[in-house]
Amino acid sequence: MNTTTLDPPFNPYENSLNFLLASYIIPYVGLTGYVGANPKLLTPQARKLVAGLLGVESAQDAVIRALLYERGLSRVASYGVGVAELTAHISELRNALGRKGIKDEGLVVAPGQGPEGQTVGNIIAGDRFSLAYDRTPEEILGVVYGSGDPAKAGGFFPQGADGRIARAYIA
């Protein structure tokens, strides 16, 4: 299975499992972005807003991951792989696009790599201290653009994102 091109093209509306897999893609990227942005925020109001968004994003990610974990050994019909394996591929792709090492993990990890090195189940992804990973705005753009480059639009934003940060990267 190629991690960048799916054949047949992925259809999130084909069935409920595909919809859950599609839902897995974005919340965690947002979560890591909020963690990464928090130290750069200047006002208490901005920190409060991001803390509130982080709480909601974390809950969404945990629910989606828990539902997928229950189906971890189920096969994704069109691709002949299990749910846990596909989430690992998605996480590997997000790590590659972010270009800053491991900041993402699938639903099952190797022994010793899970939360605090104690489990292979990975419903709530975190570093070795069980803290959420962070991503910079540049990393987030690389992931959501699907290019790995914050200056090269594509993916979820074929014309580029339109915020002040995104505009600073696109020439």
| pTM of structure | 0.85
The mean pLDDT value for 144-163 works out to 84
Q: How far apart are CA 131 and CA 138, in angstroms?
A: 21
Report the 10 Å Cβ neighbour count for 52. 11
Quote the CA–CA distance of 87 and 99 in Å, as a whole number.
18
Pick the most confident of 5-14, 52-61, 106-115, 158-167. Answer: 52-61
Please check the confidence at residue 2 and state whether its pLDDT lies above 60: no
Per-domain boundaries in the chain = 16-135
| pLDDT value at residue 1 | 33
* Residue 67: closest CA among 138, 9, 19, 127: 19
- What is the rounded average pLDDT of the residues 65-76? 93
Report the sign of the C-alpha dihedral through residues 53, 134, 165, 64, in that order.
negative
What confidence tens digit (pLDDT) does each residue in 90-144 have? 999 999 999 888 888 889 988 877 777 778 888 888 887 888 999 998 899 999 9
Of 7-16, 38-47, 122-131, the poorest mean pLDDT is in 122-131
| pLDDT at residue number 166 | 65
